[in-house]
Structure 1
Amino acid sequence: MIYKTMFKICIISLTLSVSAGFSKAQNLNLIPYPSQVGTLKGNCVLYSRQLYTNNKQLSVLLQHFNEEISSQVKTPKSPKQFIDLKLGASTGVYGSYELITYEKHVAIRASDSGGLFNGLTTLLQLYKSAKVVNGKMILPRLVIHDQPRFAWRGFMLDESRHFFGKKTVKELLNWMAFYKLNRFHWHLTDSHGWRLEIKKFPLLTAVGGRGNFTDSLADASFYTQDDIREIVRYAKERFITIIPEIDMPGHATAANHAYPEFSGGNAPGYNDFTFNPANNQTYSYLTNILKEVRTLFPSGIIHLGGDEVSLGIAAWGKNPEVIKLMSAQQMTDLNQVEHYFLKRVGDSVLKFSNNLMCWDEAVSAGLPVSSTYVNWWRQDKPESLNEAISKGYKVILCPRLPLYFDFVQDSTHRSGRKWSGRYNSYLDIYHFPENSIPANTLGQSNILGLQGNLWTETVISEKRLQYLIFPRMASLAEAGWTVDSAKNDDNFNARLKAHLLLYDKKRVYYYNPFHPGKHPEPIDITRGLGDQD
């Protein structure tokens, strides 16, 4: 192709210096750092803060870039600054791109729109740290070749335990896009609140939407279906896919408060925790819910939860309907009932032409391998990860240590999880997965990627939400994008310090690992989540 030939000529004529991981001379404050960075002599001078393209089909890609950069440099009388965006032949890795900064313009080439967007995101980060002289952007001359390590680079937010709303979620999506994270796992239902409008069952939000983890009497908080459509569009513009989670058969308390006829009964400390697996109407009810969910989320994946069912499963053993079901289906224990439930609901989802996603407890449920994604979260259960891999499930790595963002970041922090003194620092996340997963396991092709999970038992305020996310989201981005051989603590720390300045400009309340006292830990709630084993 022409642009590959051009790149080879640049190498010969301009003595291109390519670094496999770091370009110290340029001191580029990019996170995640590109796969290869070549430096050229001179500067790239751009005279306008906003960029345009003659390709109308690709112009939509510039919308997010121009919105983000609109306040960077104010030069309203500048002529239009065009960027060369081109789609070429497939490189085999979705999201890869080439970015070249010439003396007076920028070119980005990729084989897919996701790659062009990633290139624009890199350019956006270059803009954020660029020198401005007489209203002009001064960038280094660069040739960047870049591609992601993992296809799935995700973040999960729990809004059942505490609700944050559209503005906060959109801001989170902006930061995800800034760090090239491309999957948003949205935990919308759990024991403490149902946060998604379902037209056929309005009590799910009118009753199930009331309360939260800290205040059972709080007014109902939830997203309307119009809200969901708006946020899904917003994410799509940023090349982020949203995966909704409708948790079952456990963590169903809020739903069962709304429609108690589908409750699986009471267990010590876990009243109405499960759906009733022996009531045929339960499956009709859930299928109708999932039909509406499917129309709202075009990702083609619905997360069914499947975790911690054992907390409330004792109620099933006292239910005559469940005992009758076990006899009819020749089941010998309640775990088999749980698997029966998941397979039956899973069959309904598959009839929608959707794929399934579940937490790793569901690996033994017999769900169809070709249509099921598994979140491996129990780092103390490596056998569950190995089982998921050996059976051929598509696996997303999100172990509590080190990828749960509700764990504290420092030994001095008082609110949040610590397990036997262990916590999740930004460097623990940065060095994942090699610091946690054996190399022979990581080499398996059905490991699609990773995600960070934020459960919100201790999070009420946006201030604390930000404090738990930043700067660890930057570490997560590099863990998902950058190969281990290219990681370097000193280099990452230097780049991260520059990003802390960006947080300051955006008024983000973050934890500063280099000056821990700069932003004191905001404590919203402390009960029930101290040092745990």
Structure 2
Amino acid sequence: MNYIKRLELFILQWCIALTVLAQITVFPWPAHLTEKKEIFILTPNINIKGNGEYADKLAQDLCQDLKNLSFLNIKIPEKRSIEFRLNTQSDFEKEAYSLKIDTEKILLEASSKEGLFYAKETLWQMIKQRKGKLAVCHIKDYPQYQWRGFMLDESRHFFGKEKVKQYLDLMASLKLNVFHWHLTDETGWRIEIKRYPKLTTEGSIGNWHNPQAPAKYYTQKDIREIVAYAADRNIMVIPEFDMPGHATAVCRAYPEVSGGGEGRWKHFTFHPCKEETFRFISNVLDELIDLFPSPYIHIGGDEVHFGNQSWFTDPNIQRFIKENNLINETGLEHYFIRRVVDIVASKGKTAIGWDEIVDAGVSPSKVIVMWWRHDRKYQLLKALEYGYRVIMTPRRPFYGDFIQYASHKIGRQWSGYNTLETVYDYPSSINYLMRGYEKQVMGMQFSMWTERIANEKRLDFMTFPRLIALAEAAWTLETRKECTSFLQRLPIFLQWLDEKGIYYFNPFQPSSTPEPDAPDKEDVLKNG
């Protein structure tokens, strides 16, 4: 670089230094951050390189991203560089990374693909926020929890693969790494299963507010495309095949495996005794496992009592309970869960179930528990004492269908509602329960149930900005979390949502983002 160009760059650096200092804003907040007064100015012709296959790919991705930035307009002869360095022999933890920015070079280092990817996401946030004028700094970062999840229910309302991809992009930026996909329930079955075509021709008809809505579902080609898209962003996709309850869509299509039920709960459960039921489940699982390479399959296991009325009166079911010494209908439910968990294990996968599964007598080596019933802290403690690994997604504060502001009229409540702050501060209120069991707590998940979410605008409104808070709560060390700091940084991410056309709830100006209508405009459901 010649003398005149160096002088111009030096003057420019000092002119903008005061506006950049103390302005590093990234999500989630990192474990360690040190910064200096100097500035690194990004230019469109900077040398970007990697040290191998995956590092080279990330370097190429960043090059492509930079081409779309209009603010990179300072052209100088370049000897500076951005380097991606993947070193599997280094002592970084699996998802940890280092991002070092000095005046001449940016170095991103990790021992895993995940870590190097997160280093790139952090750098990309800084580039967008400061328009390429980066404070010299060193970030050393790693997550608090290994499971940082978002669940989307598309049984009640279907949103389609482009919306799912948009959310996967946002999850990647927030370093969320699990997409729990709730694709089967009462309302509709949303996955093509070639062995059982009626699951989609009949089971996918309808949605929560219109039982005659046209069939909507994902083809197996769609599923593979989305799973690959997620994997490219280091996100694992976990399918949920809900059973023995919440099986209405399945049993409507194939009544031969139905366990009965009455009124609105007709066909709610699988038949718990027929061998045909378990063959059906095994066959469906074979296709799911082929579609989803993750080591986990979510099998539900919750709220069976809503629709098991026929179990009490069916003579074959009652005889089965007696002959197998199952005591009662709850014992039969637990028998069903144990059999399905064994089927999943026989296929080389680990089952995940809602917290009712703790009482089924399943080996902790075969199942992971999702604790969802916030009012039953004893169920969380029981799971930990029994040796289960646990993922925390309690209704309060991690269910996205709960209202988030006092004046909102559509959604759920339970002795309160789920504000941005309560999401961010979790799990400080229950840390005492987990003391001594920290290694069994895999992480946290924000779960979006969609009974009253029929369109993308309302989905965005109920998801953001609470998902941003969950991401930081799950990634950032407790000693580094500070809600005031988070709220000060939050407008930056909201600006990025604006650029993507996402309609979020603005906690700083609530009246500026009116609550979108739900399908039937019904009032808040209390303790529902």
Q: TM-score, normalised by structure 2?
A: 0.91
Displacement of 1:52? 3.8
- In structure 2, relative to structure 1, the CA distance for the partners of 1:74 and 1:31 (3 Å cut) is closer
- In structure 2, relative to structure 1, the CA distance for the partners of 1:252 and 1:528 (3 Å cut) is farther
Q: In structure 1, how many angstroms separate the alpha carbons of the residues matched to 2:186 and 2:335?
A: 22
State the Cα deviation string for residues 348-371 of structure 1 (Å, max 9, x = none): 111110110000001111222112
SS of the residue 2:239 aligns to: strand
- In structure 2, relative to structure 1, the CA distance for the partners of 1:314 and 1:399 (3 Å cut) is same
The alignment status of 1:223 with 2:224, answered yes or no, reads no
Residue in structure 2 matching 1:192, options 175, 181, 187: 187
Q: In structure 1, how many angstroms separate the alpha carbons of the residues matched to 2:216 and 2:63?
A: 33
Equivalent pair of 1:49/1:73 in contact (CA under 8 Å): no
SS of the residue 1:193 aligns to: coil
In the other structure, the counterpart of 2:473 is: 479
Equivalent pair of 1:45/1:105 in contact (CA under 8 Å): no
Equivalent pair of 2:230/2:236 in contact (CA under 8 Å): yes
Equivalent pair of 1:49/1:75 in contact (CA under 8 Å): no
In the other structure, the counterpart of 1:155 is: 150
Residue in structure 2 matching 1:520, options 514, 517, 525: 514
Q: In structure 1, how many angstroms separate the alpha carbons of the residues matched to 2:163 and 2:487?
A: 27
Displacement of 1:500? 1.2
Equivalent pair of 2:334/2:360 in contact (CA under 8 Å): yes
- In structure 2, relative to structure 1, the CA distance for the partners of 1:439 and 1:44 (3 Å cut) is farther
The alignment status of 1:30 with 2:26, answered yes or no, reads yes
Residue in structure 2 matching 1:73, options 70, 75, 80: 70
Q: In structure 2, how many angstroms separate the alpha carbons of the residues matched to 1:275 and 1:56?
A: 48
Residue in structure 2 matching 1:45, options 34, 41, 48: 41
Residue in structure 2 matching 1:314, options 304, 309, 315: 309
Equivalent pair of 1:49/1:69 in contact (CA under 8 Å): no
In the other structure, the counterpart of 1:394 is: 389
SS of the residue 1:60 aligns to: helix
In the other structure, the counterpart of 2:427 is: 433
Residue in structure 1 matching 2:524, options 524, 530, 533: 530
In the other structure, the counterpart of 2:7 is: none
- In structure 2, relative to structure 1, the CA distance for the partners of 1:64 and 1:335 (3 Å cut) is farther
Deviates further, 326-335 or 44-53: 44-53
The aligned runs of 1:49-60 (5 Å cut-off) are 51-60=48-57
Displacement of 1:527? 5.8
In the other structure, the counterpart of 1:423 is: 417
Displacement of 1:293? 0.2
Deviates further, 38-47 or 107-116: 38-47
The alignment status of 1:360 with 2:360, answered yes or no, reads no
Residue in structure 1 matching 2:368, options 366, 373, 378: 373
Question: Unpaired runs of 5+ in structure 2?
Answer: 1-19
SS of the residue 1:409 aligns to: coil
SS of the residue 2:445 aligns to: strand
SS of the residue 1:512 aligns to: coil
Q: In structure 1, how many angstroms separate the alpha carbons of the residues matched to 2:516 and 2:311?
A: 41
Percent identity among equivalent residues? Answer: 39
Q: In structure 1, how many angstroms separate the alpha carbons of the residues matched to 2:90 and 2:23?
A: 31
In the other structure, the counterpart of 1:508 is: 502
Q: In structure 1, how many angstroms separate the alpha carbons of the residues matched to 2:165 and 2:59?
A: 18
Deviating above 6 A after TM superposition, structure 1's stretches of 4 or more consecutive aligned residues are 76-80
Letter in 1 for 2:122: T
Displacement of 1:438? 2.2
The aligned runs of 1:113-512 (5 Å cut-off) are 113-131=113-131, 137-420=132-415, 422-438=416-432, 440-441=434-435, 443-512=437-506
Displacement of 1:501? 1.2
Displacement of 1:58? 2.2
Aligned length: 504
Equivalent pair of 1:160/1:188 in contact (CA under 8 Å): yes
Deviates further, 439-448 or 180-189: 439-448
SS of the residue 1:375 aligns to: strand
Question: Unpaired runs of 5+ in structure 1?
Answer: 1-23, 132-136
State the Cα deviation string for residues 403-440 of structure 1 (Å, max 9, x = none): 001111101111111123x1101111000111344264
Equivalent pair of 2:81/2:106 in contact (CA under 8 Å): no
Q: In structure 2, how many angstroms separate the alpha carbons of the residues matched to 1:239 and 1:212?
A: 31
Letter in 2 for 1:366: G
Equivalent pair of 1:44/1:103 in contact (CA under 8 Å): yes
State the Cα deviation string for residues 106-146 of structure 1 (Å, max 9, x = none): 11111211111111111111011023xxxxx2211011111
Letter in 1 for 2:50: T
- In structure 2, relative to structure 1, the CA distance for the partners of 1:486 and 1:437 (3 Å cut) is same
- In structure 2, relative to structure 1, the CA distance for the partners of 1:49 and 1:382 (3 Å cut) is farther
Displacement of 1:102? 2.0
- In structure 2, relative to structure 1, the CA distance for the partners of 1:92 and 1:47 (3 Å cut) is closer
Cα root mean square deviation, aligned? 2.0
In the other structure, the counterpart of 1:11 is: none
Displacement of 1:66? 5.2
SS of the residue 1:41 aligns to: strand
Q: In structure 2, how many angstroms separate the alpha carbons of the residues matched to 1:126 and 1:330?
A: 63
In the other structure, the counterpart of 1:94 is: 94
Q: In structure 2, how many angstroms separate the alpha carbons of the residues matched to 1:411 and 1:403?
A: 17
State the Cα deviation string for residues 305-352 of structure 1 (Å, max 9, x = none): 001111112221111221121112111111111111111111111111
SS of the residue 1:370 aligns to: coil
Equivalent pair of 1:64/1:237 in contact (CA under 8 Å): no
SS of the residue 1:503 aligns to: helix
Greater share of residues in helix: 2
Q: In structure 1, how many angstroms separate the alpha carbons of the residues matched to 2:447 and 2:41?
A: 40
Displacement of 1:267? 2.8
